[in-house]
Structure 1
Amino acid sequence: MNAVPRKVAVIGLGIMGLPMAVNLLKAGHPVTGFNRSQGKIDQLVSAGGVGASGTAEAVKDADVIITMVPDSPDIEAVVSGPDGVFANARKGAYWVDCSTIRPDVSVQLAAAARKAGIKALDAPVSGGETGAIEGNLSIMVGGETADVEAVRPVLEAIGSTVVHVGPSGSGQTVKATNQLIVAGTIELLAEALVFLEAHSVDTQAAIKVLAGGLAGSRVLDRKAASMIARKFEPGFRVDLHHKDLGIVTAAAREAGVAIPLGAMAAQLMGAVRAQGHGSLDHSALMLLVERLSGRSAS
């Protein structure tokens, strides 16, 4: 059964935001979008959406407002001020932040949203560009139970796994955990591939058998082939994962939790970024492993 259409505003039509908006349109929800670059707005309009000249115009009539921007300062800028979400959204609207930001900032902004009469949820996503295009993102949601259930039909238009994980900020905490696991897994996959190649093993065959055992993972399924081919077109950029691992290490320090392998993964991500690979996919960690192994072309 199709959900009742909700007027949705999407702020941030990047690698993730645009395909999410398109899937909302496919599910029957009217979508108005805004992005800093006009080209992305034009793509939304071509898909059947409506373009807005700014955040204020995009959100004024929306039932649900989805934000998808890179970092904590970006979301603070989008929601605050006379042209922001809080000043222009109608009372009772739902604000769903799908960005990945610091959990403490998420809690603070949720409180500010409530003061403005807006119901706030933090709902970061996992699955990368492929998941956004296919509409099968995993969405971890923090906020009030009633609010989560009210927007669930909208979230299910963009994600196949939608789980309420706790109060405001909980979604961001779970996303930080996700980024920790993904970074560590990509690094180990990179090391494994370089190791296999050094021993002249058929890497395609090796990956096939590894995927069928305990070493199998979504990362292996989605990243191994492109890593073997040395194709690092960004599904999720090194720059963004570097930012996310900064969130992880800061939150772990605040909670007094030791993450020795996570801290190493953060340093390695920072190193590959420092080598000029920030715009590549995070699987470009393989370039660093090759360089450390003395096997890189450069």
Structure 2
Amino acid sequence: MKICKTISEFKNWRNSNIHENIGYIPTMGALHKGHLSLVASSKLHCDKTVVSIFVNELQFSPDEDFEKYPRTLEQDLKKLENHKVDVVFIPETSEIYKSDFSILINELDLSQKLEGASRPGFFSGVTTVVSKLFNIIEPSYAFFGEKDIQQLIIIKKLVLDLNFNIQVVGCETIREASGLAMSSRNQYLSDQDKKDASILYETLQLGQNLLKKNETVGETKLQLKSKLQNNKKIKIDYLSIANSTTLEELRDNVKLKNEKVIISAAIFFNDVRLIDNIII
């Protein structure tokens, strides 16, 4: 497994593999089975697999957890080597953002909702760094998890609007035995918290069942909020039932017909922010 720390070092490798079909997984490290499932998908479809590890400060607001975000590079590299990744790109911040860096990539519609409304500037940081990494890595395929469904939708729009010659592949959410979606931030939770936090997925499943039984969107949301608010450890950030393409919220009086929707939520569980979704 080759480790590259600079763009020029990576480009040298890339130029020697110019005709290879490259699969790429961008990460911020603290790797778990969700990330490794993306690696497995890449290895299934591509000649070579590249993983980047870069904690992107641009997507953190000043009051978020950039400084304490889990950094487990040694363990991450062992996991990637065990999964026979070809190259790991681990640049320093100064390699990605020069001191006079002054250009941002902004998505102006999808990024204003849900996560974007709760975390202003987040998606600008994501689309900027992903654009830069796509230009550096030049992959044929890029693999993203469906747990971050809004991010996946925005990255697909980014590729379409900016004419990247990349196929973005969404991969299913990997979960703990309890149902809790795997996330690097789960490291902030105790084992008991992880079990208790599975109420988030249970709530989304309840929403799916209610909508499939012809309940209205408004009544479904009321029942989901009630279920979450009954747990004293939980503070709801947002709860959404939205169109899966536009991310527009469905009106309260709507009953699910043929429209594809996403039920999603963000909560604070003992001050740890967790997100999850179900696509219907």
TM-score class normalised by the smaller sequence = 0.3 to 0.5
Q: Which has the higher strand share?
A: 2
TM-score after normalising by structure 2: 0.38
TM-score after normalising by structure 1: 0.36
Query: Higher relative contact order by CA 8 Å / sep ≥ 6: 1 or 2?
Result: 2
